[in-house]
Structures are given as structure tokens and as C-alpha cells.
Amino acid sequence: MVLENLSARAHIIQTMLTPLEKLAYTARQGARVAWYMGHGLAAGQFRKTEPGVSEVTRDRPRQKGPGMQQLLASLAATFQRDLDNVAAGYYPLPRDADGSPGRLLKTSRAFLADVPVAAERKAKGEGTEVYSPDKAEELPAYFLQNFHYQTGGYLTEDSAEIYDMQTEVLFSGSTNAMRRECLVPLWEFMRGRDQRQTKIADIACGTGRFGRFVKQAYPRIDLTLSDLSDAYLTEAKRHLKDYSNVSYEVANAEKLPFADASLDVVTSIYLFHEVPPKVRRIIAKEFARVLKPGGRLIFMDSLQLGDIDGYDGMLQSFPVNFHEPYYGSYIKEDLADIFREAGLFHTESRPVFLSKLVVCDKP
């Protein structure tokens, strides 16, 4: 029913994009893909020659992942889908806001400078350089790690500055396009609602990329961005400085700073693979607690085992190549079950390139 409504609307306003707009979109996204893929290739060259790589290959899963051709076809389909979503009226033409040329170059230099440092950390098998007993008094131990071997973990301004580049390099420039797919179930939820009366929170918002897309689509919505990392939230504030009606909360998602039944929508992207299984369940209960009856959870994280034929080998090798201590358990989770147990009604799960979108409503 919902799909029928969506495609009917898509049909009505399909002509809204001019050929020039389509061309501009293709040129912009093509340049992003080239920029981030280029950095991926440069970083990959370095990783190939790093010491200790034989230890990593020894543990490599036997199953093969998808071929390059299949991945490139899926990447192209992701951007086509993004453009179709815009043409369908689900959200405006995206402004990725990667920064000025000067800022891009600065981030590029910082990213490339960290590649050998991360490679050395990986060769030594280190992943908890940021842990210290005094920090563990205020932050959970699972959080005090160098996820992806990145310097500073989630704790420093330098790490926050290069995080977006790291994710875009990982996904060849498609991370923002995948995140934007979350705006489709948001559009569906917002039909007939007054955005000024709608409260939405993005939990584990990181540097605020998705929050900015929410504001581009709904400038008057009441948005809260929340994350456990003070440094990442500071970067998010910078990223959304031009938008009003946005609040920021440094908070652990295990204990959200919202009253029971106070939010219309909760969104959360790429959080669950970073936390242990029992913490996922606590956070799911928090999502359910803070949502109003009739409210909606829009959740995105990595693809999981069995989601797409032939992709399992690639998913299994991800935590071997990057420090991702909880990813192995994440890809086996039944997400719909976790959210159902938390008291939510699961309405949809579907792959979005290398991510998975899950939508649940609070009865």
C-alpha cells in the first residue's frame, strides 16, 4: 500500500528535475566517487606493503565476496536510486557539503597521513590505544577503542575531522547516498504532519551528516543530534551551524536524555555494529521508550549475512581488515527480533547497497 502511494507520487512529479539538474547531479556525484575511490586506492597501496599483512590473510574467510564488476554496478544503482528519490519528491537535490577546496585538501592530507599510522597499529594488533582507567570511569570500555584502527578512536577533534572522509573512502563516495535512503521512510511518516510540531532525534549522529540532510528536507523540524563523543558532536555543530531549531546532547544511547514517549521519530545510522550484543538490546529498549505511540524508528547499519547472495565473504573479511570488534556478532543479529523484543512493530528491512535499512513503528 505504502509502496503504491510512493510510486504514484513518483509518477506525478517525475518530471520535476530538468536535464541540467540531472547532469549537475551526475557530475557532482561522479567527482565525489573519483575523489574518494582515488583515496581508497592510495590507502590500499599502502596497506598491501605493510608488515604483518600475512597474519591478516591467514585469517581471511574462505568464502569469496562479490566481484568488482558487481560492486560497481550496485554503486551506480545506488546513485540512480538517489536521483530517482529526488525526482519522486522524497527529498531535495542533495548538497553533500564536503567543504571548500581548501578544506578538502586539508582533510585529504590528514586522512593520508593517518593511513600509515593506522596500518602500523593494525600490524601490531593494537586497537585500544585510547583506553585509560580514568576515561573508563565516565565512558564505557567498549567505546574506548580505535575503531577502524583510527587514531584517537572517537575521542579527538582530529579523528572527527577525518571521519567523513574515512567512511566515504570505505564506501567509494556512496555513504551520503545510502544515508539519504533513510529520508524515504521519513517522508512517508511526515505526510500530513506539521514539521514544526515534529520532534526527531538522530542517535549516535557522529559528525551530523544525516542530520544535515534532515534539515535540508525539513528546515523547521525540531531536531536533536546526540552522540557519546564530545569531539564528534562539536564537528556536527560546525556542520549544521547554518540551521536553526537543532539541539545537541552528549549522551550514551544506553541512557538517552529524553522523557518517555517524547519523540516522534528516532533515527540511528551505523551504531549497532560498534557496540556489544547486550548493549544493542539496551539501546533498542531506549529507542522504544523515548518514542511516542505511533512514532517511528528509522535505523541503518551494515548489510548482514545472507542479505545479498555472494556478499557474505566480503562482510566476514571486514573485521579482519579493520578493527571492528563487534561487527562479527552484528552481522548475525536478527534486527527485527531485537526491535520487536524492545516493543516496536517491525515494518520493513531492505538492503541499500552495502547498508541495511530497518523501519519500525511504536504501537
Ligand X SMILES: C[S@@+](CC[C@H](N)C(=O)[O-])C[C@H]1O[C@@H](n2cnc3c(N)ncnc32)[C@H](O)[C@@H]1O
**Residue 248 in the binding site for ligand X (CB under 6 A):** no
**Residue 258 in the binding site for ligand X (CB under 6 A):** no
Contacting residue, 206, 248, 322, 327, with ligand X by CB under 6 A: 206
**Residue 205 in the binding site for ligand X (CB under 6 A):** yes
Stretch that binds ligand X, among 124-132, 225-233, 302-310, 333-341 (CB under 6 A): 225-233
- In this complex, which beta carbon is closest to ligand X, that of residue 29 or of residue 267? 267
Cα distance between residue 87 and residue 177, in whole Å? 14
Helix (H/G/I), strand (E/B), else coil: 263: strand
- The strand pair at 246-250 and 263-269 is best described as unpaired
Distance of CA 55 to the CA centre of its chain: 29
**Residue 36 in the binding site for ligand X (CB under 6 A):** no
Axis crossing angle, helix 101-124 with helix 19-49, rounded to the nearest 10: 30
Number of residues engaging ligand X in binding (CB under 6 A): 21
Contacting residue, 118, 204, 221, 266, with ligand X by CB under 6 A: 204
**Residue 190 in the binding site for ligand X (CB under 6 A):** no
Cα distance between residue 35 and residue 29, in whole Å? 10
**Residue 239 in the binding site for ligand X (CB under 6 A):** no
- In this complex, which beta carbon is closest to ligand X, that of residue 143 or of residue 330? 143
Stretch that binds ligand X, among 21-29, 63-71, 102-110, 227-235 (CB under 6 A): 227-235
Axis crossing angle, helix 183-190 with helix 2-13, rounded to the nearest 10: 100
Question: Which amino acid is it at 16?
Answer: M
Stretch that binds ligand X, among 17-25, 201-209, 304-312, 323-331 (CB under 6 A): 201-209
Q: How far is the CB of 161 from ligand X (least distance, A)?
A: 13
**Residue 352 in the binding site for ligand X (CB under 6 A):** no
Residues 267-296 vs ligand X: string with x where CB under 6 A?
A: --xxx--xx---------------------
Cα distance between residue 315 and residue 106, in whole Å? 31
Distance of CA 341 to the CA centre of its chain: 24
Q: How far is the CB of 202 from ligand X (least distance, A)?
A: 7
Contacting residue, 78, 85, 229, 304, with ligand X by CB under 6 A: 229
| Helical spans, DSSP H, in the chain | 2-13, 19-49, 53-58, 68-87, 101-124, 133-138, 157-170, 175-180, 183-190, 209-217, 230-239, 277-290, 312-321, 327-330, 335-341
Contacting residue, 111, 187, 232, 339, with ligand X by CB under 6 A: 232
Q: How far is the CB of 143 from ligand X (least distance, A)?
A: 5
Residues pairing with 69 in the sheet: none
- In this complex, which beta carbon is closest to ligand X, that of residue 6 or of residue 338? 338
**Residue 214 in the binding site for ligand X (CB under 6 A):** no
Helix (H/G/I), strand (E/B), else coil: 355: strand
Q: How far is the CB of 255 from ligand X (least distance, A)?
A: 9
Cα distance between residue 152 and residue 133, in whole Å? 16
Q: How far is the CB of 185 from ligand X (least distance, A)?
A: 16
**Residue 213 in the binding site for ligand X (CB under 6 A):** no
- Nearby residues of 128 by Cβ (< 8 Å), 6 or more positions away: 144, 145, 146
Question: Which amino acid is it at 24?
Answer: A
**Residue 146 in the binding site for ligand X (CB under 6 A):** no
Q: Which spans of this chain sit near ligand X (rule: CB under 6 A)?
A: 143, 154, 167, 179, 204-206, 209-210, 227-229, 232, 252-254, 269-271, 274-275
